[in-house]
Structure 1
């Protein structure tokens, strides 16, 4: 399964209420408009010579624009290399070199702050973006349907089934430099199928908030809920008061955060001033969580905390501790 299939096959293609919403850049696209944007950008990639199974990287903050780039990469049959903007420039260069990436979507601010880009890449290997545009094209243009008769052959040379490389994900790097874990079609299909099984559609319209880096678990988890027809809210970083307000305003149902970010929410003076009744899955992972903090989170956000364990090297939901599991463990005193 390609990443763009989670978009193209979503029931939200016929549901005008579900959208990709960029809270930082005031951008909102329907699923069909996202498809249109990905086709325009995929055509640009093809003109630049990107072929099936080439590696193309994204190096940009969380944004709807970044999602457009990811879907375009997938639509030409290339493999996506996500680069975390919070990692050092040098460590990301190592990942680019290891992957032999042929092209890079890069945020204009990152490129300006790192003049070494010009030493590593030709102008034709870079496509610049910010929250409002990609390759100089505003969303007002990108979101329009391609011209009548436009033919985009997006799968003609893509390996079939399990053989297709979909993404390269950086490992933790605890024993040296990060390695690159290869995720193929089967890995993505398995991961998202497990996620959909253990976290089925809620009883209200699904809305997933991405505030932790899109390049890691928070972004990876968004594809399964796309296939369920959810709205995707995007913000770059975790500002506690803003995030708490967004949950209430947009009736967020799904949220992924590491424990350290949850601690910041719990410590905020207005944490009890908002309505979190829409939350169905407050997903935490990536590190152990204090039992006392977990009890506090359940008291404030409700019995909606869920925990998973996995690694980039072992895609990726290896264990699942449901909201009900949490409640039962606390009642029995097992926590």
Structure 2
């Protein structure tokens, strides 16, 4: 038996579906979900999943068929996803802020059988139906106009015991990448990857019994991985549709939330909000952040404001959520350099830094983060050549560049494609951004390379200032030069009200670079 087969066999005796069935029967009378004025107990959640299963079967969906959802945060997204996992269908969740071209491409590429949307996206759904008439089933969660209501039809079924029919290697999730380097890629995640992700998050994050998770980030994407760990502990998920600092603080106080998952831009907004420092965070036990790197300066500020509750997670779509973690204890390390780290591997995941020939690099040198284990995807849908390249020699090649220190902490320097090559020197934007955000006037920073006739690329900084603060371009350039030298120092600085963000809440560097590189090609792809 190969090493990979041996690792996978651990998970073949139980599936994510088995886990869902078990947890729903443990706390039938507890509240599982809060959605505004709506409450769902664990028993009501189980019954809703049962009705969804029966509705999917009534529509003729069979193992391996694809169901696509387009929705904001609502419990029904989880109900349908759980039903998909139990039946061995394939779940696709569209990024709500994505464009219609990407949405149409994904629906066709995934060979969708059912499209199910929130009523807020009814217009987009009707437009997509006009483009893709071959898809047989189009529904809204709530009936609206000519589109039928999924739950209205599902209500005719009496709750029944939940089946668990998917195997460990059945692809139960197609997670499409953001499309920042071309067409979105369909990452095939089998049941063993979803199960591994769940177990690693349970083992590697700080959950208390009865945890109360405040969730403004989309459960259709990264935050969705936290739901089963929370429910396994008998906890409650408090859903919000989008992030607003005042609404977040109101809900935290009203519901006694003691855990949350935010992306760095949300943390920055919370830290910059005047009400935050008047708020009591003593109940908060864990503030998880991820999806993009967070500035060490702002991490230190977060520790002062929120307390010793910060925990970072690093992963990618192809190995979701659980590659590296910087624990709450790590955030309190006497060596503050650790705050620049992405942490250490989750238990059971092999992580190495490899060079371009897939050989391990010496300690302290930069290499590509490569991952092996049952968390890793099965491949890209309909892209065997790309799959073979990314999974060559048994390792998932993430495209993230990092070095490892003597204590085993990984320090990500940047994405390969974001590296700036200026005058033959490699400049890693994250290192420049980390310095810029230590300046008292800077709230957020993005660093990109722009064309230069002599150097090939020049370093440009795009800055968001803190409320009531300002700095000059010359001051910030000098600030970086004093700390990193002349090559990484910005040669130009733009000041903006806010950074453009991808649909996953990351700074959109492709959008920042686009005006400068139109009609040109970059050396770093």
TM-score bracket, shorter-length normalisation: 0.7 to 0.9
In the alignment, which residue of structure 2 is the partner of 1:178? 184
> How has the CA–CA distance of structure 1 residues 97 and 183 changed in structure 2, closer, same or farther, with 3 Å as cutoff?
same
Q: Matched residues in 2 for 1:55 and 1:287: separation?
A: 29
Paired position in structure 2 for 1:146: 158
Task: Tell whether the 8 Å contact from 1:201 to 1:228 is kept in structure 2 after alignment.
Answer: yes
Maintained 8 Å contact 1:205/1:230 = yes
3-state SS in 2 of match to 1:20: strand
Cα distance, 1:131–1:137 mapped onto 2, change above 3 Å: closer
Q: Per-residue displacement from partner, 1:68-97 (whole Å, max 9, x unpaired)? A: 222232333211111111111221221111
Rounded to whole Å, the distance in 2 between the matches of 1:218 and 1:131 is 27
Instruction: Give SS of 2:139's match.
Output: strand
Cα distance 1:4–1:275, how it changes in 2: closer, same or farther (>3 A)? farther
Residue aligned with 2:322, SS:
strand
The answer to which structure has the higher helix fraction is: 1
Mapped contact 1:4–1:74 kept (Cα < 8 A): yes
CA contact (8 A) 2:28 2:43 kept: no
Deviation at 1:201, TM superposition (A): 3.0
Relative contact order: is structure 1 or structure 2 higher (C-alpha 8 Å, sep ≥ 6)?
1
Specify which of 331, 335, 346 is matched with residue 332 of structure 1. Answer: 335
Bigger Rg over Cα:
2
Q: Which residue number in structure 1 is paired with residue 69 of structure 2?
A: 58
Query: Normalization by structure 2: what TM-score?
Result: 0.57
Task: Please give the secondary structure, in 2, of the residue aligned with 1:260.
Answer: helix
Paired position in structure 2 for 1:259: 264
Which among 192, 199, 202 is matched to residue 198 of structure 2? 192
Q: Which structure 2 residue ranges, 5 or more long, are not aligned?
A: 1-13, 340-525
Residue 272 in 1 paired to residue 277 in 2? Answer: yes
Number of residue pairs matched by the alignment: 321
Cα distance 1:60–1:3, how it changes in 2: closer, same or farther (>3 A)?
farther
Q: For 2:24 and 2:307, how far apart are their aligned partners in 1?
A: 29
Could you tell me how far apart the structure 2 residues matched to 1:42 and 1:61 are?
Answer: 21
**CA distance in structure 2 between the partners assigned to 1:251 and 1:239 by the alignment:** 18
Match of 2:150 in 1: 135
How big is each residue's C-alpha offset from its partner over 1:227-281, in whole Å with a ceiling of 9 and x where there is no partner? Answer: 2221111111001111112122222222111101111111111112322222222
Runs of 4+ that moved beyond 3 A? 1-7, 121-124, 130-134
Alpha-carbon RMSD across the aligned residues, in angstroms, is: 2.6
Please show how residues 17-28 of structure 1 align to structure 2 within 5 Å.
Answer: 17-23=30-36, 26-28=37-39
Cross-structure match for 1:68: 79
Q: Distance in 1 between matches of 2:133 and 2:283?
A: 46
In 2 relative to 1, CA 49–64 (structure 1 residues): closer, same or farther, beyond 3 Å? Answer: same
Q: Corresponding residue for 1:125?
A: 137
Task: Report the alpha carbon displacement of residue 151 of structure 1 after superposing the two structures with TM.
Answer: 7.0
* TM-score normalised by the chain length of structure 1: 0.87
Task: Give the Cα–Cα distance (whole angstroms) in 2 for the partners of residues 75 and 114 of structure 1.
Answer: 26
Q: 1:6 to 1:290 in 2, by over 3 A?
A: same
> Equivalent residue for 1:97?
108
Partner residue of 1:208 out of 201, 209, 213 = 213
Which whole-Å CA distance do the structure 1 matches of 2:211 and 2:133 have between them? 41
